[in-house]
């Protein structure tokens, strides 16, 4: 915002405009903000009590236990892979009108996916209990097989594919911690099975597609995306916090000491980084090289290829990044003629940074506070998305299985388990997401207000000493914010999301009416069109006012949010030509600086996620897409905290013209 008015002595002006005697504003909104965060804590407590992040990655066994859960019965801390025991049930679940769903097919948790033997018949048996006197460790050491210990009744039941032991006829591969069958039965194992008198096992491609369809469902993919963020938390800290914070400070220092060349350096680095980021997406999508993501975990037959929904998403993002890259490179070439103007803008910034050096360090404070909130928020998000109650299904299909506890075939409680979500969980998730957005906007607004007060104090004394400006203007501005303006900042930070939300339906109405036939337009349609334009105008005014300009006026005058927004809007309208000439190019260069930091962190994130830890080992992520996007969001917040003031907002030469 350009502050414009009449010529005045800077000391007199500063004493009149930067008011020292203030009072608390918008206290009611501050109370609402505090109450909102109390509700956020209560909502998160519910998530921590009812959720289990393991549910986002691993499946459920025939007892309703989450695979990999050390608190299950038995202890499953090493048994993380879900394996379906009965191949005929898997085939039946793949039929179009079948009553049997895959979630009701009997499954168990194993360490690795079983493989058929070349010279014998391998078995996978239920968890040992009842008459089976084996410990879980012994059962694991025996490769999950105790068929030789079964009684004649148990053996006969097993040959009917009712357990407690089941033959390994089909090879399987670990796909996102579930053993997906490969529809190629082992001839030797199938021959042994038939010689023992086992029931007919159906060989069909549906046995492959049924599991693949379940693993590749939209809900399963969404859970894996959320789990990816939790698994890659070290990358989140390094590439979403430490690296962008360091690069932001370096960028500000470069503005301070290499101001003349910074526009050119910024544009060159930006083009290099956006091309590099696009190439990384091409690599992970499989369009370049052989480093494409794969849903298969661990070593496997190189001739086995399984396509996941995550790769389709990467293909779409790679195309989008290609378009963005072309537009960005052409735009950077187009603004080359404006570089000299951008240099003059950055010189103002360099002068301010040199005089008020605390501005380089200050954003670290809200950044650390916001980082603490994000760690709490991400943890609560993991538990909230995995909250719910595990209940047994009420199925009507034939799923009889041998129960080692009751020593008989049981057809009453053989249905599978699933996570049942209560109706209010979706509301809790939306409430939780809005809480993160409000907190982010709140801290950005606080940072804008403090920086605006500091820069304004410096500008209006023009480097001269003033008794009314403290030695550390940043500390003085922070003190005024904490004592008087938190309510106004809380109000402004919640106005923007509500204004954007309310604008969408009116914009939709306006577009539909615009496409209608004018000659047949009724009075009601004309009234609706005019009303929508009016509402859009009002909402647009709110959105334009509720930005850094309103916070600047809050820092200077100490007024409430709405009065500060009105004053900011009037000053913008009175100086629109100057803002158009100077601010636009300055904003572009500062925005490119933020994008350079974001893209640098993205490149670092891709390199870290490409390590063995996240590509093949226990913490393998399904796709780098969401972890990288989360880091871009965090980096943008970091960039806003470090660059949410523009040196054009309050210029020395315009201080002589304020009326």
Q: What CA–CA distance (Å, rounded) separates 422 from 420? A: 7
CA angle 438/440/446 to nearest 5° reads 100
Angle between helices 425-461 and 625-643 (to 10 degrees): 30
How does DSSP assign 362-396, residue by residue?
TTHHHHHHHHHHHHHHHHHHHHHHT-SEEEE----
**Average pLDDT by consecutive 10-residue portion of the chain (659 residues)?**
39 48 81 91 89 90 90 88 91 84 90 88 91 89 90 91 91 91 87 90 86 89 90 87 82 75 82 92 88 83 79 92 91 71 64 63 79 88 87 78 84 81 83 87 84 72 48 74 85 73 59 52 59 60 60 80 76 62 61 83 89 82 88 66 47 37
How does DSSP assign 230-285, residue by residue?
HHTHHHHHIIIIIHHHHHHHHHHHHHHH-TTTHHHHHHHHHHHHHHHHHHHHHHHH
Looking at residue 595, its pLDDT comes to 83
Query: Given CA atoms 71, 76, 78, 83 in this order, what sign does their dihedral have?
Result: negative
Which 3 state secondary structure label does DSSP give 658?
A: strand
**Cβ-based neighbours of 329, under 8 Å, separated by 6 or more:** 271, 274, 275
Q: Is the peptide bond before 106 cis (omega within 30 degrees of 0)?
A: no
Q: What DSSP character marks residue 482?
A: I
Looking at residue 359, its pLDDT comes to 66
How does DSSP assign 583-634, residue by residue?
IHHHHHHHHHHHHHHHHHHHHHHHHHHTSHHHHTSTT--S-SHHHHHHHHHH
Contact 456, 18 (CB under 8 A): yes
Q: What is the pTM of this model?
A: 0.78
Looking at residue 281, its pLDDT comes to 92
Domain ranges for the chain? 81-216, 225-394+416-504+547-644
- Choose among 266, 265, 289, 293: nearest CA to 279: 289
Q: What CA–CA distance (Å, rounded) separates 301 from 199? A: 29
Looking at residue 8, its pLDDT comes to 42
Looking at residue 518, its pLDDT comes to 44
Burial class (CB in 10 A: 0-12, 13-18, 19+), 333: exposed
Q: 137-140: list long-range contacts, CB under 8 Å, 24+ apart.
A: 140/78, 140/79, 140/111
Looking at residue 323, its pLDDT comes to 94
- Token pair listed for 343: 């240099």
- Choose among 153, 203, 217: nearest CA to 402: 153
């Amino acid at each position: 915002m350009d502050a414009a008015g009449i010529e005045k002595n800077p000391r007199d002006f500063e004493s009149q405009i930067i008011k020292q005697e203030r009072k608390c504003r918008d206290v009611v909104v501050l109370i609402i903000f505090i109450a909102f965060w109390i509700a956020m804590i209560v909502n998160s407590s519910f998530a921590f009590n009812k959720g289990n992040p393991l549910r986002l990655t691993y499946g459920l066994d025939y007892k309703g236990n989450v695979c990999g859960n050390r608190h299950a019965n038995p202890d499953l801390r090493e048994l993380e892979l879900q394996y379906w025991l009965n191949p005929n049930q898997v085939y039946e679940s793949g039929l179009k009108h079948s009553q049997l769903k895959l979630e009701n097919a009997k499954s168990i948790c194993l360490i690795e996916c079983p493989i058929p033997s070349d010279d014998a018949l391998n078995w996978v048996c239920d968890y040992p209990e009842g008459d089976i006197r084996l410990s879980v460790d012994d059962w694991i050491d025996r490769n999950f097989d105790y068929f030789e210990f079964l009684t004649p009744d148990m053996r006969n039941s097993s040959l009917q594919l009712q357990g407690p032991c089941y033959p390994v006829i089909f090879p399987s591969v670990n796909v996102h911690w579930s053993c997906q069958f490969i529809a190629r039965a082992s001839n030797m194992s199938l021959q042994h099975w038939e010689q023992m008198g086992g029931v007919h096992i159906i060989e069909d491609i549906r046995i492959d597609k049924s599991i693949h369809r379940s693993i590749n469902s939209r809900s399963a993919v969404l859970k894996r995306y959320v789990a990816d963020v939790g698994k890659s938390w070290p990358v989140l800290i390094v590439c979403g916090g430490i690296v962008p914070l360091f690069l932001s400070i370096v960028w500000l220092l470069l503005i301070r000491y290499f101001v003349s060349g910074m526009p050119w350096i910024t544009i060159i680095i930006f083009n290099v980084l956006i091309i590099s980021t696009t190439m990384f997406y091409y690599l992970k999508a499989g369009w370049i090289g052989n480093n494409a993501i794969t849903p298969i975990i661990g070593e496997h037959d190189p001739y086995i290829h399984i396509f996941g929904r995550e790769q389709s998403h990467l293909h779409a993002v790679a195309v989008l990044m290609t378009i963005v890259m072309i537009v960005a490179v052409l735009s950077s070439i187009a603004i080359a003629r404006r570089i000299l103007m951008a240099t003059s803008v950055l010189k103002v910034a360099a002068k301010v940074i040199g005089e008020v050096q605390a501005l380089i360090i200050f954003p670290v404070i809200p950044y650390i506070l916001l980082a603490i909130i994000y760690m709490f928020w991400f943890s609560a998000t993991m538990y909230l998305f995995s909250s719910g109650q595990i209940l047994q299904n009420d199925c009507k299909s034939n799923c009889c299985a041998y129960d080692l506890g009751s020593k008989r075939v049981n057809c009453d409680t053989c249905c599978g388990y699933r996570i049942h979500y209560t109706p209010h969980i979706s509301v809790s998730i939306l409430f939780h997401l809005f809480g993160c957005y409000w907190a982010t906007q709140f801290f950005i607004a606080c940072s804008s207000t403090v920086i605006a007060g500091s820069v304004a104090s410096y500008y209006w004394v023009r480097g001269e000493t003033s008794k009314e400006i403290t030695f550390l203007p940043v500390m003085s501005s922070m003190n005024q914010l904490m004592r008087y303006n938190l309510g106004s900042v809380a109000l402004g930070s919640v106005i923007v999301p509500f204004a954007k939300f309310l604008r969408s339906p009116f914009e939709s109405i306006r577009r539909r009416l615009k496409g209608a036939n004018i000659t047949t337009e009724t009075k009601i349609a004309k009234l609706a069109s005019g009303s929508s334009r009016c509402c859009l105008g009002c909402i647009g005014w709110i959105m334009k006012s509720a930005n850094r300009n309103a916070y600047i006026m809050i820092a200077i005058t100490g007024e409430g949010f709405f009065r500060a927004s009105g004053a900011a809007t009037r000053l913008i309208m009175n100086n629109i030509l100057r803002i158009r000439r100077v601010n636009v190019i300055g904003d572009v260069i500062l925005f490119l600086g933020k994008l350079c930091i974001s893209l640098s962190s993205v490149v670092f994130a891709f390199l870290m996620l490409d390590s063995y830890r996240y590509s093949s080992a226990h913490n393998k992520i399904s796709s780098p897409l969401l972890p990288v996007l989360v880091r871009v969001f965090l980096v943008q917040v970091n960039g806003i905290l470090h660059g949410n003031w523009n040196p054009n907002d309050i210029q020395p030469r315009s201080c002589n013209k304020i009326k």
